[in-house]
Amino acid sequence: MENKIKLLDGSMSYPLELDGYNLNNRLWTGDALINNPELIKKKFIKAILIQVLIIY
């Protein structure tokens, strides 16, 4: 049986930018985590689900 490696890497900035989140801050990641944790959670869960679909 042949083993195949799949590398899944997702960006958080692009999905946030699509939702209108302001990334014009050097610390936008920290800002988003502190001020909008539910949006981060939503985007993270969506990314995980997409990766699961890719794997299977």
What confidence tens digit (pLDDT) does each residue in 2-40 have?
Answer: 777 777 777 888 888 888 888 998 998 899 999 999 988
| CB of 49 closer than 8 Å to CB of 10 | no
Please give the pLDDT value at position 1: 54
Beta carbons within 8 Å of 50's beta carbon, 6+ residues apart: 10
Q: Calculate the alpha carbon distances from 23 to 13, 48, 52 in Å.
A: 8, 22, 28
Output the pLDDT for position 37: 92
